[in-house]
Structure 1
Amino acid sequence: MSHIHGGPDVHGVPRWDFSTNANACGPCPAALAAVQRADAAHYPDPAYSRLGDALAAHHGVAAERIVVAGSASEFIARITAAVAGGGGRRFWLPALAYGDYAQAARAWGLQRVDDPAQADLAWLCEPSSPRGMAEAMATSVAEACSVVVLDRAYEPLRLGGRCSLDAAALDRVWQLWSPNKALGLTGVRGAYAIAPLQGLALARRLEQLAPSWPLGAHAVAMLSAWVLPEVQQWLAQSRTQLARWKAEQLALLQGAGWQCLPSEANYFCARAPHPVDVAALRAQGIKLRDTASMGLPDHWRLGVLPTEAQAALAKALTIPQELTQ
């Protein structure tokens, strides 16, 4: 069973990579500078005390609720292992979802159920992947299952709408944050989760299951920079630019007959009016993301890229020149 992701492949880094959802305005200069200054000659603090305090203050929660992770995918695997180790046997996730949720569940022998009330572990993601929308069942799932994880990887890149869960509901679920996409630094792996108010026992169990130093010095530097005012200001400005590029990209593809699905994030799914020659596109430095592995066959997920990248896509797809202007 192979992991399916966008981004670089055997051919290297695509020149025009529509297959990932990283912030196309990035990398964030202040965060990149922090990573470049990281002290790679020494171990980080194994308790990550200062980082935990900074993340807790950023979110207005107690530091004991912060659980650091090597990446979002590492946390997905670890919390699944913890639930299975505690006797969990069933999981729930939306019909369209990131493949790592189900893959981790299968690895631990969990069975998928249709009713979240019967699940020992449930997954939500907002904005969702691949659609970039709110989860219709978010509120009911948060109330029905004892361990619910809300993946908020794309929340910092939300260009419209708002989270389905209010503050009280958010305190009942695990919130998984992986800022590297928002910062345009996907090569730096590092994430963290906020435990629910009633989830401290599981939080301690997750810490026991973690290897020593799950975060290296560069990940600590990135996450420490994440909470800085100047980084958050840069992020807010980037969302304005991304919204402009998204409008251009939607108009381009819709004008060429693509059926584009609604999205609140810096990416969207679309169905081509004719078969897409993936190999030919890749030969021209362009990569799209097939969403079949996320439950949406015959569609492509496209991250929003600058006008220059859109022009390259239009040329490769032989879209008339007037639609690219």
Structure 2
Amino acid sequence: MHGGTDTLGKPTYDFSTNSNALGPCPEVLTQIRLSDCASYPDPDYHSLRNALAAWHQVSAQRIMLAASASEFIFRISMLVGQRNQDKQDNQSKRFAHSQKTVWVPPHSYGDYVLAGRAAGLDVVENCRSADLIWACEPGSPLGQNQIGLAEMITAKSGNAQVVLDCAYQALRLSGCSSLSPEQRDACWQLFTPNKALGLTGVRGAYVIAPLHAETWQQRLEQMAASWPLGSHAVTMLSAWTLPSVQEWLLKSLETLRQWKQRQIALCTDLGWQIEPSDTNFFCVTPNRKIQEHRTDFLHAMRAQGIKLRHAGSFGLDDSFRMRVLSPPMQDAFHRAVKQYSPNF
């Protein structure tokens, strides 16, 4: 299940995605429209890798590119399912076939589990026994830090791979990461700037590989298709490193903080329970009447151009996830709910 455009088209009031409501970033959009789509990008993406490496102050050799976050999620899951690095044997690395496992946070993006199952991984409840561990901070749908993440990274087994999904790091409105730089360097850090830039229609992601993960990185590179990024994605990711673009993002976060408080107040006025969140999205639990008629309610809202994201696929059956939108869109939502449920 995903938010955004559906069979009815693009929602007029789309609360269902996590994209920055002040996007698209004008500067990046202009650059994308001027992209050279008549030529192949550099197949090794040298300039882009160097720009991202300089931005993150890491070696360019640690930068990997992906067609999207979901593409990398499936790629690394497949690698873990097929091969797992064993102990050193005769001064060389070898790969041994065996049943592998994956651990996912209790409330998290469905592709983690879907990719694991496609790769033949067993989903386990104890992260210490997992070969692949997923983390997202701040996470979706709750927009909060992942409880016990630092301890999880410290306690992982030697061969376990930890992927830290950083999709919402740039959309953090409060709080700070629970991880130290050293702990982050022990993870595969997955970045998708299209959400923060309000350009989710442009697919493209990048990864910072952990330190001392050259063998795994080589295998992942070998599994990638040629030209995972088209010209539009190259332009978007390159622009992501520009000071002017980052300044636009910081200003947008200031506005989103104000809008968020207003939107929370309107949801509270409706009698909805608000879950704490550090991001531009949060979860709400409506009153019992709406929960009992959830399907009818969502259809009625969608008929008026308002789309909410039911959080059932995240394991929160009673809740909706809402991104922060502008005050006029908030008012349209508030009126629609009042008209639907005047007695509750």
Query: For this structure pair, what is the TM-score category when the shorter chain's length is used for normalisation?
Result: over 0.9
* Counterpart code for 2:33: Q
Pairwise mapping of residues 1-325 of structure 1 onto structure 2 (< 5 A)? 4-86=1-83, 87=97, 89-145=100-156, 146-273=160-287, 274-275=289-290, 276=294, 277-318=297-338
Report how many aligned residue pairs link the two structures. 317
Q: Is the 8 A contact 1:70 1:191 kept in 2?
A: yes
Q: Is the 8 A contact 1:92 1:119 kept in 2?
A: yes
* Counterpart code for 2:9: G
* Counterpart code for 1:139: A
* Counterpart code for 2:101: R
Question: What is the distance in 1 between the residues matched to 2:56 and 2:27?
Answer: 20
* Counterpart code for 1:115: N
> Which of the pair has more CA radius of gyration?
2
Alignment deviations for residues 280-300 of structure 1 (CA, whole Å, 9 cap, x no partner): 100100000011111111100
Alignment deviations for residues 100-128 of structure 1 (CA, whole Å, 9 cap, x no partner): 00000011110111111110000000111
Using the size of structure 2 for normalisation, the TM-score is 0.91
Alignment deviations for residues 243-274 of structure 1 (CA, whole Å, 9 cap, x no partner): 00000000100121000100000000000013
User: What stretches of structure 1 move > 6 A for 4+ residues in a row?
Assistant: none
Superposition RMSD in Å: 1.1
* Counterpart code for 1:317: V
Q: Is the 8 A contact 1:267 1:301 kept in 2?
A: yes
The gaps in structure 2 that reach 5 residues or longer are 84-96
Q: 2:64 aligns to what SS in structure 1?
A: strand
Alignment deviations for residues 53-95 of structure 1 (CA, whole Å, 9 cap, x no partner): 0000000000010110000001100111111121461011111
Question: What is the distance in 1 between the residues matched to 2:316 and 2:334?
Answer: 24
Question: What is the distance in 2 between the residues matched to 1:137 and 1:7?
Answer: 31
Using the size of structure 1 for normalisation, the TM-score is 0.96
Report deviation, 1:143. Answer: 2.0
Report deviation, 1:137. Answer: 1.9
Question: What is the distance in 2 between the residues matched to 1:247 and 1:309?
Answer: 14
Which residue number corresponds to residue 93 of structure 2? Answer: none
The gaps in structure 1 that reach 5 residues or longer are 321-325
Q: 2:18 aligns to what SS in structure 1?
A: coil
Alignment deviations for residues 119-154 of structure 1 (CA, whole Å, 9 cap, x no partner): 000000011110000000211221233200010000
Question: What is the distance in 2 between the residues matched to 1:74 and 1:126?
Answer: 19
Report deviation, 1:319. Answer: 7.0
Question: What is the distance in 1 between the residues matched to 2:82 and 2:229?
Answer: 24
Question: What is the distance in 2 between the residues matched to 1:319 and 1:56?
Answer: 52
Which residue number corresponds to residue 323 of structure 1? Answer: none
Q: 2:173 aligns to what SS in structure 1?
A: coil
Report deviation, 1:237. Answer: 0.4
**Pair 1:319–1:157, CA change in 2 (3 A):** farther
Q: 2:338 aligns to what SS in structure 1?
A: coil
Question: What is the distance in 2 between the residues matched to 1:129 and 1:137?
Answer: 16
